[in-house]
Amino acid sequence: MRETLRMQSVQSPIIPVVGELIRSNPGTISLGQGVAYYGPPARAIEYIERFAADPENHKYKLVQGIPELLEVIEQKLKTENRISLKGSRIVVTAGANMGFVNAVLAITDPGDEIILNLPYYFNHEMAVVIADCKAVCVPSDDDYQLQPERIAAAITGRTRAVVTISPNNPTGAVYSKSDLRKVNEICRSSGIYHINDEAYEYFTYDGARHFSPGSIEGGAEHTISLFSLSKAYGFASWRIGWMVIPEHLFEPIRKIQDTILICPPVVSQWAAVGAMQAGRDYCSDKLKMTAEVRQLVLKELETIRDLVTVPRADGAFYFMLRVHADTEPMELVKQLIEQHKVAVIPGMTFGIEDGCCLRVAYGALQKSTATEGIGRLVKGLKQILRN
């Protein structure tokens, strides 16, 4: 007995490997984890009582989500994202990852191609391979920004979608409105979908502005927008996100989600109603500390400019460092953990094959841990790379 060749070709995530290294080196500070440092608002927990008060809530509910949550999301999309839902609709999912898998399964046949921008979010690449499709990777520029002409040039007769993530994991880049508009137009004129992941929409700094391609006039037919409560509301384990999809994709997505999930966990959906009533202010408040941590990380990295380049990153909670050395990235990560007790994620996790890149994540950290962690990273890189 054996697994399929298809599944054998799916990459094994490196994050658990780094996790194991961290566990076997107690005291290691992780700059690897892509999660927020805080949990959900009190309002979310209060709403669990509403869930519990009605025995009907223990039964299956609508595939696309409970009306109460759909209503709050609709309002939010209108006021914050300028997404009007003319010609599109919302499907609540068990997180943005599930939204992505739903989308890929709904729009591809085996052997089709999906364009990902490099570096990619590894679960996107994995989902494409799991669906028996090909991930076509288009490099971003030196600042990890989109290259619309290269995206257009990569489109073939088998391409079904272009995927963008802004603010970006793993680079922290925030894409400009004009680049996102260009990509959306390329997709429209090529008759393919534009999938945009907005899991970090609230996480922007230094005046950077988030833009939702789902708001583009005439874009409803070919734009799929993915959202998540995981980061904004400290909701990672609650598994709630949603997708905005063209009306014509509702039938296939309903079939997929009905088969895999039946309905998103209703208790989490009620908690999500409470969280979203607390609203964006909840995240903005928490973001003040993350913004301070970001400054602290930037200031420390500035001291080793001869050793690493830190491309501009005005969003999410990541920096993707380019190390000025011909070192094998996983070897460097191992040395940093074993000798300096600090963990980062190697660039190859995100499809970077040329050069040595390291992803630094700072969203999970309190200030004191961040100071210690980044201090160890800088000292470690100095020692390893200057010797």
Ligand X SMILES: Cc1ncc(COP(=O)(O)O)c(C=O)c1O
**How many beta carbons lie within 10 A of that of residue 14, not counting itself?**
18
- The verdict on 32 binding ligand X (CB under 6 A) reads no
Residue 90 vs 304, nearer CB to ligand X: 90
CB of 7 to ligand X, least distance (A): 20
Q: Which two tokens stand for residue 256?
A: 């997929």
Q: Which of 73, 92, 161, 199 binds ligand X (CB under 6 A)?
A: 199
- In sequence order, what DSSP letters do the residues of 34-46 get, joined into one string? -S-SS---HHHHH
Please state the closest distance from residue 92 (CB atom) to ligand X, in A.
11
**299 exposed, middle or buried (CB, 10 Å; 0-12, 13-18, 19+)?**
exposed
Task: Give the residue, chosen from 28, 29, 31, 34, that forms a contact with ligand X under the rule CB under 6 A.
Answer: 34
Residue 96 as a binder of ligand X (CB under 6 A): the answer is yes
User: Interacting stretch for ligand X, rule CB under 6 A, among 46-54, 92-100, 248-256, 328-336?
Assistant: 92-100
- The structure tokens listed for 304 are 């080793």
Q: Cα separation of 81 and 37, whole Å?
A: 25
Are residues 385 and 322 in contact, defined by beta-carbon separation less than 8 angstroms?
no
Decide whether 24 or 237 has the Cβ nearer to ligand X: 237
* d(C-alpha 122, C-alpha 16), whole Å: 13
d(CA 128, CA 104): 7
| From 81-89, 94-102, 260-268, 305-313, span contacting ligand X (CB under 6 A) | 94-102
Please say which residue, 241 or 274, places its beta carbon nearer to ligand X. 241
Q: For the sheet containing 318-323, what is the strand order?
A: 308-309, 318-323, 356-361, 345-346
Q: Which residue number, 96 or 360, has a Cβ lying nearer to ligand X? A: 96
Distance CA 93, CA 257 (A): 8
Which positions from 110 to 139 touch ligand X by CB under 6 A, shown as an x/- string?
Answer: -----------x------------------
Question: Which of 28, 81, 145, 230 is the binder for ligand X (CB under 6 A)?
Answer: 230
> What stretches of 32-176 show up as alpha helix (H) in DSSP?
42-53, 67-76, 96-107, 122-130, 148-154
Measure the CA–CA gap between 184 and 216, rounded to whole angstroms. Answer: 8
**Distance between CA atoms of residues 76 and 92, nearest Å:** 14
**Minimum distance from CB of 240 to ligand X (Å)?**
7
Least distance between ligand X and beta carbon 331 (Å): 25
Q: Hey, which residues between 267 and 296 contact ligand X (CB under 6 A)?
A: none
Distance CA 299, CA 365 (A): 16
Q: Report strand pairing: 345-346 vs 342-343.
A: unpaired
Encode burial over 320-335: b for 16+ CB neighbours within 10 A, e otherwise: bbbbeeebebbebbbe
Q: Which stretch binds ligand X (CB under 6 A): 20-28, 91-99, 133-141, 368-376?
A: 91-99
The one among 32, 40, 65, 95 contacting ligand X by CB under 6 A: 95
* Closest to ligand X by CB, 113 or 201: 201
**Which residue, 129 or 325, has its beta carbon nearer to ligand X?**
129
Listed in sequence order, the residues at least 6 apart from 206 whose beta carbon sits closer than 8 Å to its beta carbon are 314
* CB 176, min distance to ligand X, A: 18
Closest chain position to ligand X (CB): 95
Which of 92, 155, 236, 293: binder of ligand X (CB under 6 A)?
Answer: 236
Of 53-61, 78-86, 90-98, 352-360, the segment contacting ligand X by CB under 6 A is 90-98
Q: Which of 112, 113, 125, 197 binds ligand X (CB under 6 A)?
A: 197
Per rule CB under 6 A, is residue 241 in the interface with ligand X?
A: yes
Q: Which is nearer to ligand X, 119 or 241 (CB)?
A: 241
Judged by CB under 6 A, the chain residues 133 through 172 that form the site for ligand X are 165, 169
CA angle 288, 316, 233 (to 5 degrees): 65
Q: What does the binding site for ligand X look like in residue numbers (CB under 6 A)?
A: 34, 95-97, 121, 165, 169, 197, 199, 228, 230, 236, 241
